[in-house]
């Protein structure tokens, strides 16, 4: 298939673009490089396959879709920092929802048949404790989650009105790196637990802050469902191959197993062979206590099973990436 990947220079986008290209798809990345990395696009699909452009620039996007004769779009391009979305909601609504609306206008003009959308379990907000399935209440608690949910609604309406096949994939905690060490996680600023724990091991005078030791969990720290980025990438490929015209579906991507912050720290110490310098810190505003996927639609709809998402594989691949690229793509 000829697939255009918006945000393909980002973390999950670059891994997905690589898996698509490795399977023989004709992949073009469309990325503003505002937050993505040229080197990630290059490492995923090679040279000459990146169009630098903003989603809001509809002429440029139309041109890219037309020249490539795109059949399907995988749409990652979005800002994804929860704290920033609270202080700059306009930026998030403009970029995430405005960008999705631009893409939808172009997709309609260029008769794109299928879209896979990068969504998030943040659309559920702060659940009361049970494992999350797709029928749970949608109640995002920050503008980031709100813009992802609003984008889902726009996509669903377009699927019904214009016959596109659309799949929204709601990720739990993406983590890990490509097993060959060429692609990995590089955010600026970095806010995620696993890269910060690895940095605390790798660099002198770094310390991981644990955001709260008094949560109502067995060890007092928050619980998350960590999914390997290669498993997420695989789900996008399956979403394309099972997409049905005129249909919208939203599918959770989690493993069903939670790990606490302390369990992650213990695994980082085991994999690296070094203790993780850490200290207690207050709870981070907006953090839910526990987010774990229930048995949802990913199995029946996509035939998806996570294969690389043991905590050990996640931390080991992230550590290999960190060792090879201590300063991320800048090195
Ligand atoms: N966390 C932490 N210290 C950090 C970063 C994260 O204790 O420096 C905790 C955070 O409170 C959450 C978990 O680690 O419970 C995962 O956070 P992350 O930012 O990686 O992902 P999120 O769940 O917020 O999307």
Q: Which atom of ligand 1 is nearest to the CA of 288?
A: 15
Average pLDDT of every residue of the chain? 96
pLDDT at residue number 331: 66
Residue pLDDT, tens place only, 90-127? 999 999 999 999 999 999 999 999 999 999 999 999 88
d(CA 163, CA 241): 16
Which of the four pLDDT bands, split at 50, 70 and 90, describes residue 128? confident
d(CA 50, CA 183): 16
Instruction: Choose, from 144, 171, 226, 329, the residue flagged as catalytic.
Output: 144
CA 274 to ligand 1 center in whole angstroms:
21
- Residue 182 domain-assigned? no
Same domain membership, residue 242 and residue 276: no
Q: Domain count of the chain? A: 2
Nearest-10 Cα torsion for 61, 236, 127, 99: 0
Pocket of ligand 1 (CB under 6 A): 173, 191-193, 196, 208-211, 222, 224, 261, 284, 287
130 CB neighbour count, 10 Å cutoff: 10
Nearest-10 Cα torsion for 276, 277, 283, 285: -80
CA 159 to ligand 1 center in whole angstroms:
34
DSSP states of 63-79 = HHHHHHT--EEEE----
Per DSSP, 328 falls in state: G
- Domain, as residue range, for 315: 193-224+256-324
Same domain membership, residue 167 and residue 45: yes
Burial of 185 (0-12, 13-18, 19+ CB in 10 A): buried
Residue pLDDT, tens place only, 46-80? 999 999 999 999 999 999 999 999 999 999 999 99
CA 153 to ligand 1 center in whole angstroms:
28
- Residue 58 domain-assigned? yes
pLDDT at 184 over 90: yes
Which of the four pLDDT bands, split at 50, 70 and 90, describes residue 130? confident
Same domain membership, residue 147 and residue 92: yes
Nearest residue (by CA) to ligand 1, atom 6, is 193
- DSSP, collapsed to helix, strand or coil, labels residue 223 as strand
Same domain membership, residue 53 and residue 138: yes
What phi and psi, each to the nearest 5 degrees, are found at residue 155? Answer: -65, -40
Nearest residue (by CA) to ligand 1, atom 14, is 193
Same domain membership, residue 153 and residue 105: yes
What pTM does this model have? Answer: 0.98
Q: Domain holding 62: CATH number?
A: 3.40.50.720
Q: 144 catalytic, yes or no?
A: yes
Q: Which residues of 4-16 are buried (b: 16+ CB within 10 A; e: fewer)?
A: bbbbbbbbbbbbb
Same domain membership, residue 132 and residue 151: yes
């Amino acid at each position: 298939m000829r697939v255009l990947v918006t945000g393909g220079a980002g973390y999950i986008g670059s891994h997905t673009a690589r898996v698509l290209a490795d399977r023989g798809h004709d992949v073009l990345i469309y990325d503003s490089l505002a937050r993505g990395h040229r080197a990630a696009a290059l490492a995923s699909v090679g040279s000459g396959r990146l169009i630098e452009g903003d989603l809001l620039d509809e002429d440029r996007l139309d041109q890219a879709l037309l020249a490539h004769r795109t059949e399907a779009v995988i749409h990652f391009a979005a800002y994804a920092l929860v704290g920033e979305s609270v202080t700059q909601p306009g930026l998030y609504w403009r970029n995430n929802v405005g960008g999705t609306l631009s893409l939808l206008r172009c997709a309609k003009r260029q008769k794109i048949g299928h879209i896979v959308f990068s969504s998030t379990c943040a659309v559920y907000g702060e659940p009361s404790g049970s494992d999350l399935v797709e029928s749970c209440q949608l109640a995002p608690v920050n503008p980031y989650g709100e813009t992802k949910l609003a984008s889902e609604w726009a996509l669903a309406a377009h699927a019904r009105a214009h016959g596109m096949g659309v799949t929204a994939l709601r990720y739990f905690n993406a983590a890990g790196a490509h097993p060959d060490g060429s692609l990995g996680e590089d955010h600026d600023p970095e806010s995620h637990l696993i890269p910060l724990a690895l940095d605390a091991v790798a660099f002198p005078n770094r310390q991981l802050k644990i955001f709260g030791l008094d949560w109502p969990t067995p060890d007092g720290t928050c619980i998350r469902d960590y999914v390997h980025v290669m498993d997420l990438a695989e789900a996008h490929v399956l979403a394309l191959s099972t997409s049905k015209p005129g249909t919208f579906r939203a599918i959770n991507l989690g493993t069903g197993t939670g790990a606490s912050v302390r369990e992650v720290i213990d695994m980082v110490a085991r994999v690296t062979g070094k203790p993780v310098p850490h200290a207690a810190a207050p709870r981070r505003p907006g953090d839910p206590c526990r987010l774990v996927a229930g048995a949802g639609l990913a199995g029946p709809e996509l035939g998806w099973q996570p294969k690389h998402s043991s905590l050990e594989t996640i931390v080991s691949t992230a550590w290999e990436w960190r060792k090879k690229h201590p300063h991320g793509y800048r090195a």
